[in-house]
Structure formats: structure tokens, C-alpha cells
Structure 1
Amino acid sequence: MSGPADRRPRLRVVAIADADSFVKWSSALIDAIPDVNPHLVLVRTPLLVSEEQQAAALAGTRLSAADVTRVDHDALTPWLAADRPDAIVVAGRGPFVRLVLRQVDRLPVRPVTVSGLPGMSIPAQRGAALYRRHVDLLVVHSRRELRAFRELTGRLGVSVELGLATLPYTRSAPSDGRGTDLVFAAQAIVPRERADRAALADILRRAALADPTRRVVVKLRSRAERGEQETHLERSAYQELLRDRPENLVFSHEPMSVALSRAEGLVTVSSTAAVEAIAMGVPVIALDAFGVSKAHLNTVFVGSGLFGDADDVVARRFRHPHAAWLDDNYFHDPAASTWWARVGELVTQRRRGELPARYVPAPRGGALHAAWHRKAVLGAEDRTVAGAVALALGSPLVRAILAARRIRGRRGAGTWSDDSSDITVTPARHQDPIRRRGRTLALSAVD
């Protein structure tokens, strides 16, 4: 016989995403919520995951292909109006989040809006806060991130409520410890320069040659030959840099959890895969061969005991993190993660008419700016005349803005050059281009 708790209606929660890392994060985040009806909506942009990338992202969750809907951007509002979710998690790069929120603003019945970042988010970046400042709740994943985003939003004069969540990847089952692979978590923009990426490829080649009986596995997120994209544009791919490689140096596109189940240890510069490995009991080397800085997104590992150099990688001298680092960095007590309880309270307030909508204001540049923003996110998926005009007129302007930033520099406290702080109040150091399948168009929107 069912009790009162069994008869309570489940909240309907929908994650809205496009790119691979955000699909993995948002699906794992909503999968961790008890007693909800979860669904995943994928919006067609040039970054949209392939069916294979989708399957890898959903691996280990209760979501299947039947729980996924793919829609065009203009069909999103009608879909949400028909589904009437209680809460949505908008999961994508900042410009994507803002574009989706504009669609949410058109709904007659407004859900509670949530957003966040798909992994370790130290340093807390200016754009991450500015693009997401109109959601009802911004999710962070560690006590350290909570402090950093409070400081950042205060410095920027941004008002947005923060909620602490457990990073979904920390729920991985422990490994049996019998793996023999050295797994390298490849990243598209860290390190960024071709010379550094070539040097890293050489380290992996040396590690493979040092012991031909054990594999070195380069874990990749996309297949360029199939037109697959990643969240960030990769300019020097490891497939190209490692054309000449020993037989025991291999590429893999399987889910990270599967790769780690056969791992002796993980090597990364700054990938969130380190957290997934730690959760499974797999030791890690956070490679510091290119320095420890905000530019390499690896200051989060300071104090962890995980840093190692090229010789450590070749010798496979993996490390486990210091206990004191864990509680402040992604391994806090799950009871402290109250973000979903807060979402429930916000849903109740909205139903009572007590939660004002946080509308995205009209862009300062008017219709042309709005058209540029849409084109920046949708690329070739945007076929409007306004988008084509905005692209032609806006590209030189954006290039001028970026050039001016480089001339002014970014020195001082809380900037990219200040490695002692956990925030950046200055804009992103690099801008990815507007993309379409097969080629790029122009620089994307700047914050």
C-alpha cells in the first residue's frame, strides 16, 4: 500500500543543452535528483552533440534516448509551453544560456530557471556570472567556488542567488584498482599554444615507449572526421600531433567512467576528469609542465598534492589528493548540497506568485545586437537576413573590441594575471569563433 510520500506529484525538470560537456553535466545533475520526471532537450546549434556523443554523455544515468528531444531554437518556446516543466536547467556556454532565457521570457507559465558550469570553475570567471545573472539560481560545486562566485558577483555588482551542489561525477563507483592504462584527459584549449600541445604529445609518446606492455590512452571527446564538435574549438588536435606513435598509444571516445575503470592513473592539465578519477579511487597527475596559472585553469589544484612534471608522467608516479584539499574542493559532505531543496522552495514561491521573473533586458545595441547574439550562438542554424547583416557589420567591431582589450592589458588584482585569487573580473582571454559544421565564420560574442 502506498503512503502519502508515494502519492506526491513529481516535479517536472528539464535540462536544455547543446554541447558535449554541458550535456554530460546537466544530464548527470538532473539524474541525481530524487523523485522527479527528468527530460533533456537538445537545441540545434553548431555545437550540438552527435548521437554517439549523446550516448557517451548519458552513460551511467537513468536517462536514455527516449528521454531526449532535439528541437530548433525557434521551436523551444512552444515545446516548453506544452511541457510546462516546474524547473529548467539551462546548460551551455554563456551566450547560449542568455539566448535560451530570452525564449523562456516568452512563456505564459514560467518555470524556475537554473544554470551552472559543467565542472571545476576556478577561477570564477566574469562571463560565467554576467551571462547567467538572470537565472533564479546559479549552481556551483564546491565551498571554494561558493566563496569565489560570491566575491565575483559582489565585485561586478551582480545579484544572483547561488546554490551548492555535489558535482555529479563524484558519484562514480570505486575502481577495483587493477587497471594498467595511463589515461590522458585531452582538453581543447588547455594548453592552448601548438608548441605546448606538441610538447604534451611528446610526453605521452615517451610514456608509451617507456613501457610497451601498458597502454597510454588519449581520451577524446569528438570525432572531427564525423563533423562532431566540442564546447571549445580545438586548433591543434592530438590525432594530428600523434600521427607517429607507438602501438600502445591509442585514442578512445568511450565514456570517461569506462576509460577510468581500466586506468592505473589519470593525467590531465586541468580537466574535471580529475574529480571523476578521485571519486573512483584512481590516482592522478595534474601536469604542471606548462606552469600553474589561471591561464591553464589549474590553480584549483594548488594544495592538492597532485602536481607532477613530465618525468612523473613517464614514470607513472600518480598521486592521491591531500585530505584537507578534498572538503573545500568538490568532496564536501553531500548534506551541504542544498541546491535542489532550494529549487523546490522557489517552485513553491512561483506557484504562489511570490517569485518575480528575472527577465533578460533588451541588448544595449538594439535589434542589430540581438541579431548578432543569435547568430553567434546558432551559426548556420540561423538563416535570418538580420543575422547575416549583423555578422557582416559586427565582425569588424568585435575584432576592434578584442584588440583594444589586448592593448589595455589585464593586470592587477582579480585579473587573469593574478594567480593568487580565485576570480577574474576581466573578460575572457580568448574568444571562440562562430561555428558551423566544417568551418568557422567570425569571432563570437564578447561579454
Structure 2
Amino acid sequence: MSASQALRVVAIADADSFVKWSASMLGGVDGIRPHLLIVRTPLTASEQQQRTALAGTGMPEHAVTRLSFGETAGWLDGQRPDVVVLAGRGPFVRLMGRVIDRLARRPVVVAGLPGMAIPAQRGALDYRRHADLLVVHSHREQRAFAELGRRIGVEMPTALATLPFARPRSRMIAAERAKVVTGSLTERAGATLLAERSEPPTGTGPQRAVRTPATDIVFAAQALVPVGRDERAEIAATLVRAAEADPRRRVVVKLRSRPGESETHLERDPYLDLLPARRPQNLVVSYDSMGQALSTAAGLVTVSSTAAIEAVALGVPVIALDSFGVSKGLLNTVFVGSGLLGGRSEVVAGRFRHPHPDWLRDNYFHPAAESTWWQRVEKLVALRRAGALPARRIPAPRGGSMHVAWHRASVLGREDRTLRGAVALTLGIPATAALARLRSGRASAEGATWADPSTDFTLEPNPFHDSIRR
């Protein structure tokens, strides 16, 4: 296909995790003309977060445009994309969906989530139900969203994609410099890493850059879990003990945002506030990309971050913390049966582990040939061009224009400067809080699925109280 015939594909995102995900997804597709449109909201990635998120995705800086919401409709009309990938939290996706509904030439609309999506959440599906295709990243997610759709009466086409952070990559480290710090890893993990580091570069192309030995313990911090300040303080204390236990290894606290920056989810008790002012010199904070952090990692620790999947793809052993339990509320039920669950004492001792092979195929490491999302998109484009793919338009909401104004103001925050938006927020905040309580009660009567470990989906609203408004 010539450059003039290549599909024009635009990802629309705001928060850093969605910037990284959408750019990585498009970076894995050959023969397209990709572009990333970043819309200003309270969650929008800063310029520095943008550079970090785009590192290694293949999305060049010149293919990125930053706009206000009010400018997006005109920009999209001028660009006339064949495909739009909506990459943001649910309310953002619905807001941008209304913009697409008004375009003179409607593109195929694709939506997805930027990481592991177990449990499949009701809101995640409901907000994206008017896209032409929902991208999921594992067979388990595909089953979970199908069952959730049946339970709530939403028919949503899904397609499987390899999680872009799970694409196999190599960390090439000079054999003569490779070492495993005594006591920092299990024998199994140490042997595996040593074998990886001793493997000579392959292929006839340029050799990979030689990197320093991988001895770091990397902690992938999360805003949402655990929720409690005391639990987060326990993690911070564990990282201090891990650093004190072996001064020869670094313990790296990998954060997504610097003070003053926003990220996808609201962090109420940042680890910077929980770590002691006087801490071991080998306990450091990093704002680098996760790929860069993992390049020198001997092990990764997290509660439930998708960074665990990125680490597994690199052969880095993992501990998924189960010290506070295993539950949907901790977003870590996906690790049941993986062999990766472990406690704080194992982090201090450096007893990291690799996943059980039987867990991998159903959870993000299916064969590449089974990732057919782009083939599905190409077929949808052909159908739309032939007039055989009806638009899945977002219906007018109950409450009419005032509801639309409230929704816009809720997503855009200070970027919405309309009087109607301000009035709608004033009236709408208490009303929506009451409605959320009512819906929660109804869903709880249906089975309290957030507390049900036997399913991979939820019916109730999520329990995190994570408003987009900051």
C-alpha cells in the first residue's frame, strides 16, 4: 500500500498511561499514517510526561498535536482520519465520542484500556459501548467482557491485541559485566537472568547498546491500590528495609508523575510523602519510563501494575504483593495461579519469581497470530467505506443539554469555561452522588460482585472515588 493509500489513524488521549498505550498500539502497526492528538483536561500529560510516555513507542514527536477540546472537531474534520482510537477514561471517551458523532466524515472508532483489565468493570464497558470495536489484551479479558456484556445487556464487538508492553524484547548486557548480587534473587531467577545476560547478540544488524548489570529492585507505584495510607506506609517501610538489607543494590521507586503533574488516577497518599526524609542512599526515586527502569532491574515489585507484564516480557522476575490480600478491590486477582504473588518479607530477601507457563497464554502472552485486532479494524474500514457499517451514535442523555454541559465540565475541569458548565456542575455534583449511591445499592442486591472472587467482572461502580476533577 502506498503512502497515499495508507490508512490515516488518529489516537485521541489525555492522561499519561493512555498516551503511552495508544502510541504503543499504533507503533506496532505497519503501513499506516499515525498521529496522536492530546486533548487538554485535568489529567493531561505534561510535556515531560509525554516524552517519557512516547519513549520506545515509535511515535515521533512531530506526529503529536496538543489541542483544547474546542479545537478538536475542526482539527478532525480537517484531518479526515479513517480510524480514531479513543484512549482515555470512560467519561473522556464518551465526550470525544459526541465530537465524532458530529463529524462530516465518520471514522471507525476503536476504544480500549491501557493495561490489565481484570476485573472487567461495568463502567469501562458502558462508557465505551458506542465504539465500533473494543480492544482487549488477553483471552481472559475477552471472556470477562463478553460475560459482563451479557449481564448488563451491552453487545460490544471485541478484538484481541497483544498488550504493547508485553511484546518480547531483549536486554543485552555484556557477559563479562554480568553478575547477580548474592541473596538478591532466588536461584531460579538468578540463573535465568545470568543466562539472558550471557547470551550473545544475534542478527546481522547493529548491535544493541551494552548496559550496566541488572541488579535493581524496581517498585512500580500505583495511585489506586492499596487505598489505605497505613498500607501504603507499610510498602514504603518495606522498600527502606530492602535497601538496608543489601546496600549493593538500588531500590528504585518508579513514579509516574512529578509533584505538580497529573496522572490517570488520583493519588491521595504519594510515596514521596511516606518515605522518610533520611533514607538509604541506595533507595532512589525515578521518573524515567518503565522500559528504562526495567533495563537495570533484577526484580520488579508491585501490587497490580501492568508493569508486571512488561517485566515478564523482558524476563525480569516479579513479586505481586499479596500482603494485603488478593481481591478485586486490589486489582490483583489476575495474578491468582501465576506464581508471582508474594509478601513483603520476600521483597526484602529478593526472592522474586517467574510466572507459571500455564498461566501465560490466557493472561497476556498468547501467540502473536491470535492478536487480530488490526485485521478487524481494516475490515470495519472497508465496511464503512461501502456504507455497510452503521454508526454507533451516542444517544441524547436524559436531562438534555444541561446533562451534556455537566458531562463536558466534569471531564474538562478548568478547560471548560462556559457558564452553563459551571451551573451544571453546581447542580449536578450532589445529584450524581445520590444517583451513584442508588446504583451501588441496586448492583449490590444483584450480587456484590466486587467482593465475589469467583468472577472476573463487576456490576457495581468501582470503589475508588477517583474523580477526574482535581
TM-score range, shorter chain: over 0.9
Q: Distance in 2 between matches of 1:412 and 1:381?
A: 38
Match of 2:139 in 1: 143
Distance 2:299 2:466 in 1: 31
The 5-angstrom pairing of residues 111-260 of structure 1 reads: 111-176=107-172, 177=193, 178-224=213-259, 227-244=260-277, 245-260=279-294
- SS of 1:196's equivalent in the other structure is helix
1:408 and 1:104 map into 2 onto residues whose CA distance is: 33
Cα distance change, pair 130–408 in 1 and its aligned pair in 2 (3 A):
closer
CA apart distance, 1:399: 2.6
Q: How much is the aligned-residue C-alpha RMSD, in angstroms?
A: 1.5
Query: Of residues 77, 83, 90 in structure 2, which corresponds to 1:87?
Result: 83
- 2:310 pairs, out of 257, 269, 276, with 276
Cα separation, 2, equivalents of 1:121 and 1:422: 9
Q: Paired residue for 1:433?
A: 467
Q: Which amino acid aligns with 2:143?
A: R
Superposed displacement of residue 386, structure 1: 0.7
Counterpart of 1:234, as a letter, is E
Alpha-carbon shift at residue 404 of structure 1 (Å): 4.3
Deviations 1:152-206 (A, max 9, x none): 0111100111011010011252224441100000000110111111111111111
1:12-411 map, 5 Å: 12-176=8-172, 177=193, 178-224=213-259, 227-244=260-277, 245-404=279-438, 410=444
Stretch of structure 1 that moved more, 291-300 or 55-64: 55-64
Output the CA distance in 2 between the equivalents of 1:404 and 1:130.
17
1 CA distance for matches of 2:44 and 2:35?
17
Unaligned runs of at least 5 residues, structure 1? 441-447
Deviation, 1:409, is 7.6
Q: CA deviation at 1:405?
A: 5.5
* Percent identity (aligned): 60
For the residues of structure 2 that align with 1:309 and 1:38, how far apart are their CA atoms?
43
Deviation, 1:400, is 2.4
Residues 1:234 and 1:392: Cα distance change in structure 2 (over 3 Å): same
5+ long unaligned stretches in structure 2: 173-192, 194-212
CA separation in 1, counterparts of 2:434 and 2:147? 30
Contact 2:443/2:459 (8 A) holds in 1: no
Q: Provide the rounded CA distance (Å) in 2 between the counterparts of 1:343 and 1:407.
A: 38
Shift of 1:402: 3.8
TM-score scaled by structure 2?
A: 0.89
Distance in 1 (alpha carbons) for counterparts of 2:446 and 2:130: 28
Question: 1:123-178: CA deviations, max 9, x gaps?
Answer: 00000100000000000000000000100011110011101101001125222444
Shift of 1:54: 0.5
Cα distance between partner residues in 2 of 1:7 and 1:14 = 16
Equivalent residue letter for 2:393: Y
Q: From the superposition, tell whether residues 116 and 407 of structure 1 become closer, same or farther in structure 2 (CA, over 3 Å).
A: closer
Retained in 2: the 8 A contact 1:175–1:282? no
Superposition deviation, residue 410 in structure 1: 2.9
Instruction: Report SS of the residue matched to 1:328.
Output: coil
Sort the Cα spacing of 1:156 and 1:208 in 2 relative to 1 into closer, same or farther, 3 A.
same
Please, what TM-score do these two structures have when normalized by structure 1?
A: 0.94
CA distance in 2, matches of 1:410, 1:201: 34
Q: What amino acid is the match of 1:212?
A: P
Specify the SS of the correspondent of 1:390: helix
Deviation at 1:434, TM superposition (A): 4.2
Partners of 1:407 and 1:348 in 2: CA distance: 44
Question: What is the rounded CA distance, in whole Å, between the counterparts of 1:434 and 1:270 in structure 2?
Answer: 21
Cα deviation code 1:351-383 (max 9, x no counterpart): 111110110001112112111111110000000
Once residues 26 and 212 of structure 1 are traced to their aligned partners in structure 2, the CA distance between those partners, rounded to angstroms, is 38
Distance in 1 (alpha carbons) for counterparts of 2:138 and 2:85:
18
Change (3 A) 1:115 1:414: farther
Size of the aligned set, in residue pairs, is: 430
Deviations 1:266-311 (CA, angstroms, capped at 9, x unpaired):
0010000000000000000000001000000000000000000011
Letter in 2 for 1:366: G
Q: Structure 2 CA distance, aligned partners of 1:242 and 1:7?
A: 52
Distance 1:270 1:214, change over 3 A: same
Q: Measure, in 1, the Cα distance between the counterparts of 2:94 and 2:270.
A: 30
C-alpha distance in structure 1 between counterparts of 2:82 and 2:465, whole Å: 34
Tell me: CA distance 1:235–1:184, structure 2 relative to 1, closer, same or farther (3 Å): same
1:56-94 CA distances to partner (integer Å, 9 max, x unpaired)? 111112212111001111111111111011101000000
Q: CA deviation at 1:34?
A: 1.0
Amino acid at match of 1:208: A
